[in-house]
Structure 1
Amino acid sequence: MQVTETKAEGLTREFQVVLAAAELEDRLATELAGIKDKVQLKGFRPGKVPVAHLRRVYGRSLMADVVQNAVNEANQKILEENKLKLALEPRIQMPEDKDEIEKALDAKADLAFTVALEVMPSFDLVDHSDITLTKPVAAVGDEEVDAAIARMAQQNRSFSDRPEGGYAETGDRVVIDFVGRIDGEAFEGGSAEDANLDLGSNTFIPGFEDQLLGAKAGEQRTVTVTFPADYPAEHLAGKEAVFDVTVKAVQTPGETTIDDELAKTFGLESLDKLKEAVRTSLSSELDAQSRRRVKKALLDALDGRYAFDLPPTLVHQEFAAVWAQVEADLKARGKTFEDEGTTEEKAQAEYRRIAERRVRLGLVLAQVGESADIKVPDEEVNQALIARLRQFPGQEREVYDFYRKNPQAMAELRAPLFEEKVVDHVLGQVKLVEEPVSKEALFADDEDEAPAAETASEAGASPDATTETSAA
């Protein structure tokens, strides 16, 4: 086997591999000898089938194996001798001339094919110890705990039927059956029986609840509303719907009480324990947001410290994934690029920069993790898999089998876990300065943050085969 490098531009490489006809013949002879004693053919005793006959029967299928094995050997040889690290699977280009292929498969001519590669960039990790990051932190105030418990008490309050003939008011609960129609046709999800609706809760389509004010038990009403233009279900967005509503009961809320009895309804022994649990829950939300903010700041700092060539196909794949999300979002909201104050060309340029950033950060984090020998225990991956199964009630077995049979899907579960461990590792190297802020300030920048803050694994890309994090 002769391997010759024919192209080396940036991170792309090409090699020509030539298998001489004599080598093809030798490899085929070895394969035939390997099956000679195993094959059972009618009219021949075991081990006595002439090689020439074996070749006529099995030659082509065995030669296909020979070629595939040669391709695998060539790939391995190229990587080992040139000390290359793949970004993507090699692309194999066989000769286009069918006659040339036929002769090679008969071992009557040399077989020459091309191996095209994209390799990982080579770069050195920089010192991160001089990075200083501000970590915004917010504390949970007593008033927030009290407000949360007040909401819990309100949601947990009891309702009793109004006296016969009583009219529904804001704050009351109506028990209703309804059937919704668009252009006279019932639509999926537009019907329900014994649905509880708290008037004034704004949980139904805008305008629906208002049209039930003053209703009495046993009354039938026709409610006409228009779905918002940005309604998540695209086939309903902006459409006018007419609902036939039967009011089965009108109920008035009981008094809201905040005491030990309320705590017991949530499985806690006292109001103090309930307050403690609520404070812990609210603190977890603040801590998670604080982590997101400091992680973004870290990724911004890393992005500014590394500059190297990126595998073009990885960037293209990441851009395609990002752009698909952008187009789907615009379509769901019924918007155009002009509505967003830009053009498609400018948006593509911006999101291509985002794709490049994601790939770059993915590669940096991968190398940091590899250098620090960071691993994700199988137990943590299994926990992530269990969490995913819970998202598909009734389909757990099918989802489990899918992940267990699909290494790429399992890798997608592992990638964000690995990334978080690497981020923790780097955060341990930098200087963190905590800055007390209000809850409003902690969440203030959420809507303005660009998706560039994400790395590839956060975007759902699969990890590169040579690392434990995502590079795509």
Structure 2
Amino acid sequence: MQVTETLNEGLKRGYQITITAAELDDKVNAKLKEAQPEVEMKGFRKGKVPLALLKKQFGPRVLGEAMQETVDAAMNDHFEASGDKPAMQPNVTMDGGEEWKEGDDVVVTMTYEALPQIPEADLSTVTLEKLVVKASAEEIEDALKNLAATAQNFEDKDGAAADGDQVVIDFKGFVDGEAFEGGEAEDYPLVLGSGSFIPGFEEQLVGLKAGDAKSVEVKFPEEYGAENLAGKDATFECTVKAVKTPVAAEIDDELAKKFGVEDLVTLKNQITERLEAEYAGAARAIMKRGLLDQLDDKVSFELPPSLVEAEANQIAHQLWHEENPDVHGHDHPEIETTEEHTKLAERRVRLGLLLADIGQKQEIQVTDAEFTQAVLTQARQYPGQERQFFEFVQQNPQMRQQIQAPLFEDKVVDYIAENAQVTEKEVSKEDLEKAVEALDEE
């Protein structure tokens, strides 16, 4: 077997791999001899089928396997010897194509772009500012009021029902003059304006008092779940038995117990921790951007054009869909990349390669537990389909990579931040929000 370099320009590489017919034939014979003891064929005892007959019977299939294995081995040997790491899957073509016939030498051309050598980045000079926001008493009080509102009770009121009130009703529904199954209830508590009934129903109960009766005229939606009712006009005979007004729960230990904690102090502490955790997450994003900006200025190296082009196309595609949210899927005009897309892609590729190099040198890895937790988090976005999501991730290497890549990047960023000079700066919630908005504008 002979490997000849045909291209070496920047990061572009090209090689011609020649496998002689004799080498390939030896490989085929070796594979057939290895299988011979287990082969059974009519007229021969097990393991006694002549090699020539095996070659005639199974030769073409074994030849294809031998060819693929030999080419793969040659490529692996080349990458091990050269130290090259291809930026993307190498392009491999067989010279001669369909004109090749058994007995000819196999000539394969392999081209790829090599990943560049990443220069050492001086991480000792990295300086970071970490914004710190404390939850204010006003924010905690607002959060408590919101919780109290969700835990509201309803008390009887005199007068007409208004939007937001609860009416306790008996009702019976009719379509074409006939009562239908599931259209009847007694003492049903309905909050007006909640949208829990079909459109137009709740609005017609506004202004009624306890003891009032009303025929409510509505139309079932065309996409209604019950086919026998979809799109049909209906009448509901309703009687209002009580009108109740919402009353927020008291902010006390009893409210805390409704949310699973022992007292109000503990509930306030939980709210404080949750708010400050949200602020810390936003502050980390700002600090990470500052870190990446510094890293981007510290190193310079040639980038694989294929990676930059792929990233630029992805950026352009994502931005186009953000500007055209009504278009789903990929049935749209071809999206052209701009100089701005390419510039952003170069930054992302450069930083991605740099972080990967730092992570590899520091032997940073994503643990199975961290990966599983990330999958669990994403699975919650698909209620009722968690198992299917897990199976999809298990069967899809690209999806696994999409989940693992940001986890790895964050661990590398954390490593750099832990060894950098970090100063904390306490700011207001408003200042933090402005800093986050500035990130989105860049």
How far does residue 209 in structure 1 lie from its aligned partner after superposition? 9.6
How far does residue 153 in structure 1 lie from its aligned partner after superposition? 0.6
Instruction: Give the whole-Å Cα distance in 1 for the aligned partners of 2:269 and 2:196.
Output: 29
Deviations, residues 413-459 of structure 1 (Å, cap 9, x unaligned): 3222221211111112322222221101101243442487xxxxxxx
Indicate the larger mover: 49-58 or 393-402: 393-402
- TM-score relative to the length of structure 2: 0.80
Matches within 5 A, 1:345-360: 348-360=338-350
| 2:131 match: secondary structure | strand
Residue 187 of structure 1 corresponds to: none
Deviations, residues 9-41 of structure 1 (Å, cap 9, x unaligned): 222211100011111221122122222222111
Residue 174 of structure 2 corresponds to: none
Residue 88 of structure 1 corresponds to: 88
| 1:122 match: secondary structure | coil
Residue 33 of structure 2 corresponds to: 33
Structure 1: runs of 5+ lacking an equivalent: 178-192, 224-242, 335-343, 453-472
Q: Of 109, 118, 127, which residue of structure 2 is paired with 1:132?
A: 127
How far does residue 366 in structure 1 lie from its aligned partner after superposition? 0.6
Deviations, residues 27-74 of structure 1 (Å, cap 9, x unaligned): 122122222222111122223322222111111100001111111111
Instruction: Give the whole-Å Cα distance in 1 for the aligned partners of 2:377 and 2:213.
Output: 44
| 2:381 match: secondary structure | coil
1:13 alignment partner AA: R
For the Cα contact (< 8 Å) 1:3–1:15, is it kept in 2?
Answer: yes
1:413 alignment partner AA: I
Residue 186 of structure 1 corresponds to: none
Residue 410 of structure 2 corresponds to: 420
1:394 alignment partner AA: G
Whether 1:373 aligns to 2:366 is: no
Q: Of 266, 269, 273, which residue of structure 2 is paired with 1:273?
A: 266
Instruction: Give the whole-Å Cα distance in 2 for the aligned partners of 1:324 and 1:404.
Output: 27
Residue 280 of structure 2 corresponds to: 287
With over 3 angstroms needed to count, the CA separation of the structure-2 counterparts of 1:162 and 1:325, relative to structure 1, is farther
Instruction: Give the whole-Å Cα distance in 2 for the aligned partners of 1:289 and 1:271.
Output: 27
1:155 alignment partner AA: T
2:106 alignment partner AA: L
Residue 144 of structure 2 corresponds to: 149
Structure 2: runs of 5+ lacking an equivalent: 172-184, 220-232, 328-334
Q: How many residues align?
A: 402
| 2:39 match: secondary structure | coil
| 1:112 match: secondary structure | strand
Deviations, residues 194-219 of structure 1 (Å, cap 9, x unaligned): 896665x9999xx9999986467865
| 1:136 match: secondary structure | strand
Deviations, residues 135-181 of structure 1 (Å, cap 9, x unaligned): 22111111111111011111211124655xx534354357999xxxx
Instruction: Give the whole-Å Cα distance in 1 for the aligned partners of 2:438 and 2:205.
Output: 38
Residue 338 of structure 1 corresponds to: none
Residue 233 of structure 1 corresponds to: none
Matches within 5 A, 1:320-399: 320-332=313-325, 348-399=338-389
Deviations, residues 297-332 of structure 1 (Å, cap 9, x unaligned): 111111222222222222222223222222222221
Q: Of 246, 256, 269, which residue of structure 2 is paired with 1:253?
A: 246
Q: Which has the larger radius of gyration?
A: 2
- TM-score relative to the length of structure 1: 0.75
With over 3 angstroms needed to count, the CA separation of the structure-2 counterparts of 1:245 and 1:257, relative to structure 1, is farther
Q: Of 166, 169, 172, which residue of structure 1 is paired with 2:162?
A: 169
